[in-house]
Amino acid sequence: MSDQNHGETVWPAGYRINPRHQDLPQDLIEKFREIPVAVAGDCMGRSIGTMGLNAYHGARIMCGQAVTVRVRPGDNLMVHKAMMMAGPGDVIIIDGGADVSQAVIGGLIRTTAMTKKLGGFVIDGAIRDLAEWAEGEMPVFARGHTHRGPSKDGPGEINVAVCVGGLVVQPGDLILGDLDGVIAIPAADAAALLPKALAHLEREAKIRKTNLEGTSDPERFDAILRAKGLPV
């Protein structure tokens, strides 16, 4: 247990448990469920999102706020605690140090997550029980998989800044995941990003239509080539 020091919690070395995030409006989260990760990424500069993580659950969309966990590679004690703290729709983000020698989560954790109606998992580490995850009801993105199971010894931290697949995630970030990858939208930016993403989708729909009709205008590409001094 932790001691109290001038009203602040003093955690044992290697441990920290911060409160759960504030909730974004549920209707905002549901609207983002219709936004592809690639579109959100385009609207955020095209250079953000996970690298090296794979979807193990099929094509189901992941969308929810982040409960973050940093664990010792191959240990899931604090993952269990984070799941106790998480609310329906929350996505558990696990910084496992990119280690794939031991699975951090598996089928039993998946069953608990489904009962609690969590939004999914993103883990820079390994999972196991692939046949269960492949049923597709619980999204999971991971760096790899192995049959070797986890320890439950700690230490670990909950609701701190973490890094998964090169993506920094803060507690409460809005997490989007699809077959293209995973992206984190800062909670404070989500409302302003939504209309930009919807406008981007509309522009893409118009371009797709002209591509299908064979009436796309090459002038915009020719203009770029001319600006670079290339022949058109």
Higher pLDDT, 161 or 227: 161
Tokens (6 digits) for 90:
């929350």
Topology annotation, domain 14-189? Glucose Oxidase; domain 1 (3.50.30)
Per the prediction, the chain carries an average pLDDT of 94
> pLDDT at residue 179 above 90?
yes
Q: Given pLDDT bands bounded at 50, 70 and 90, which one contains residue 2?
A: very low
For the segment 124-131, the average pLDDT, to the nearest whole number, is: 98
pLDDT of amino acid 166: 97
Higher pLDDT, 155 or 219: 155
Chain-centre distance for alpha carbon 97:
16
Tokens (6 digits) for 47:
């250079």
Q: Given pLDDT bands bounded at 50, 70 and 90, which one contains residue 7?
A: low
For the segment 188-195, the average pLDDT, to the nearest whole number, is: 98
Q: pLDDT for 39-96, tens place per residue?
A: 999 999 999 999 999 999 999 999 999 999 999 999 999 999 999 999 999 999 999 9
Cα→Cα distances 107→68, 69, 75, 76, Å: 20, 19, 15, 13
For the segment 96-124, the average pLDDT, to the nearest whole number, is: 98
